[in-house]
Amino acid sequence: MRDGYVVAVVGATGAVGRQAVAILEARGFPVRELRLAASGRSAGKRVDGHPVVALSEDVFDGCDIAIFDVPDGVSAEWAPRAAARGAVVIDNSATFLLEPDVPLVIPEINGQRVKDRPRGIVANPNCTTATFLLPLAPLHRAYGLRRVVACSYQSVSGAGQAGTEQLWRELRAAVERGEPLREPLGQAFPHPIALNVLPAVGSVRDGGHTSEEVKAQQESRKILEHPGVEVGITCVRVPTLVGHGVAVHATFDRSPDLEEVREILRTAPGVEVVDEPRSARYPTPLLAAGRDPAYVGRIRLDGAGNLAFFVVADNLRKGAALNAVQIAETLVALEPELRAHARV
């Protein structure tokens, strides 16, 4: 192995970027030099004691790995520029998720895919997709996944720092007034999110689906390499701080045996089973927040013959920053002499 890598975190002041900085350190990723960048507004700030600079081409000079935690438009402009300068980009935005020449990777499921990156970019999946695919991938291998019908319960931090700030602001105002608010106190959500749920996450597309729902379907097909799988999901924003939950109802080619399902999930990487509903032991966002696994419980056959379960993972960690650092770990384990562009 080399004497560590030069790693940049772009968007280091944001909800995901801050986690990425902390996780790189906590997991002991071999960093020789850490460079943090954000918008010009943040130049001169510090994150975990490291200085932040305004994003520029200089950030990528001699950089081995650049983790991008910025809005879609910023990734679209800067990720190719970073790759052109020789960095392998791990991108957390939605920009490259579905590009055929960009691997979309959850290391526990398809880590080997990092080796095929002709554009020098590896994409990190959407936080909701990552959450429900961790348990579904091993079940697909065992039983053949045919269809998924799901509903998500997505926390406000999924909309970044602005989402978290809006919920706290509204909660304080609602407590002070002694009643729910009628107007939002922020730009992250179009309605009050405090004491409310919003049945739309992302922008609305043709057919009435939201961008988050379209991503969940298309990313599932790409990651599982299963173009025929049907995914119907309603994505809902709820007033929790961290942790996206998904209620999953899945149909397989072969009928799953519940005891075998539990055993498959108990040994699945990145998954932890918490399933003693009679003693109120099941996954919740508060259980998952700040932790690495996707927690699965309420495992049962539903009244319509599907396998049903509830899964929750920390959207800022497994849904974003942790997965990105795991991609970096996979890259350097498979190719210690990292090259920016590779095609297997």
Residues with a catalytic annotation lie at 127, 244
* Burial 9-29, CB ≥16 within 10 A → b, else e: bbbbbbbbbbbbbebbeeeeb
Encoded amino acid at 267, one letter: T
* Part of the chain binding ligand NAP (CB under 6 A), chosen from 21-29, 33-41, 189-197, 251-259: 33-41
Instruction: Provide the Cα torsion 169, 175, 181, 187; round to 10°.
Output: 10
Q: Does 285 bind ligand NAP (CB under 6 A)?
A: no
Cβ of residue 323: shortest distance to ligand NAP, in angstroms? Answer: 8
Rounded distance, CA 176 to CA 173, Å?
5
| Residues β-bridged to residue 96 | none
Q: Does 247 bind ligand NAP (CB under 6 A)?
A: no
Which of 109, 167, 289, 316: binder of ligand NAP (CB under 6 A)? 316
Rounded distance, CA 6 to CA 119, Å?
19
Which of 22, 25, 72, 218: binder of ligand NAP (CB under 6 A)? 72
Q: Does 243 bind ligand NAP (CB under 6 A)?
A: no
Task: Write out the binding residues for ligand NAP, residues 150-179 only, by CB under 6 A.
Answer: 157-158, 160-162
Helix axis angle, 15-26 to 160-177, nearest 10°: 120
Number of residues interacting with ligand NAP: please give it, by CB under 6 A.
29
Cβ of residue 77: shortest distance to ligand NAP, in angstroms? Answer: 8
Specify whether the CB–CB gap between 66 and 33 falls below 8 A: no
Q: Does 102 bind ligand NAP (CB under 6 A)?
A: no
Which of 8, 11, 231, 307: binder of ligand NAP (CB under 6 A)? 11
Rounded distance, CA 240 to CA 285, Å?
7
Q: Does 93 bind ligand NAP (CB under 6 A)?
A: yes
| Residues β-bridged to residue 148 | 231, 250
Q: Does 326 bind ligand NAP (CB under 6 A)?
A: no
Which of 287, 320, 322, 328: binder of ligand NAP (CB under 6 A)? 320
Q: Does 17 bind ligand NAP (CB under 6 A)?
A: yes
- Tokens, residue 88: 């392998």
φ, ψ of residue 32 in degrees (nearest 5): -85, -40
**In the complex, residue closest to ligand NAP by CB:** 14
CA distances in angstroms from 3 to 7, 29, 332, 338, 342, listed in the order given: 13, 11, 12, 12, 22
Q: Does 89 bind ligand NAP (CB under 6 A)?
A: no
Q: Does 211 bind ligand NAP (CB under 6 A)?
A: no
Q: Does 15 bind ligand NAP (CB under 6 A)?
A: yes
Q: Does 13 bind ligand NAP (CB under 6 A)?
A: yes
Which of 6, 21, 70, 104: binder of ligand NAP (CB under 6 A)? 70
Q: Tally the C-alpha atoms within 13 A of residue 193's C-alpha that lie toward its C-beta.
A: 30
Cβ of residue 188: shortest distance to ligand NAP, in angstroms? Answer: 9
Task: Write out the binding residues for ligand NAP, residues 255-274 only, by CB under 6 A.
Answer: none
For 8, other C-beta atoms within 10 Å of its C-beta total: 23
Q: Which residues form the interface with ligand NAP (CB under 6 A)? A: 11-17, 38-39, 41-42, 55, 69-72, 74, 92-93, 127, 157-158, 160-162, 315-316, 319-320
